[in-house]
Amino acid sequence: MAIETMNISLPDTLLRYVEERVSEGDYGTTSEFIRELIRKERAERRKEAVAFLEREVLPAIESLERGEGLDPTPEFWDGIRAESRRRQRELQHGTEGT
């Protein structure tokens, strides 16, 4: 995995907070702290996507497997479209699975 450099601008309050977290010894560098935040946010988004699938898609599949009809709500399809658009953006920006 190649490491790229990214420069970010932070207000003084956030910069001090990051420096405090590093000085507390939980992180060796500011880069480690930022990488961990990004990993946590990415994991949370994946968790939300799984929850959506479990809440909306799996019941529909199970209903079909039981031979039942399905009358999905407009909200159901809105959620499917929103998730599809989000995944498409991730693929376009090369962020899926990283």
> Residue 74, SS3?
helix
What are the structural domain ranges in the chain? 12-93
**Per-residue pLDDT at 59:** 86
**Per-residue pLDDT at 41:** 93
Tokens describing residue 53: 């699938």
**Per-residue pLDDT at 68:** 82
**Per-residue pLDDT at 91:** 78
* pLDDT tens per residue across all 98 residues of the chain: 788 899 999 999 999 999 999 999 999 999 999 999 999 999 999 998 888 888 888 888 888 888 886 677 898 889 889 988 988 888 787 665 55
DSSP conformational letter for 46: H
CA 87, 90, 94, 97 torsion-angle sign: negative
DSSP conformational letter for 55: I
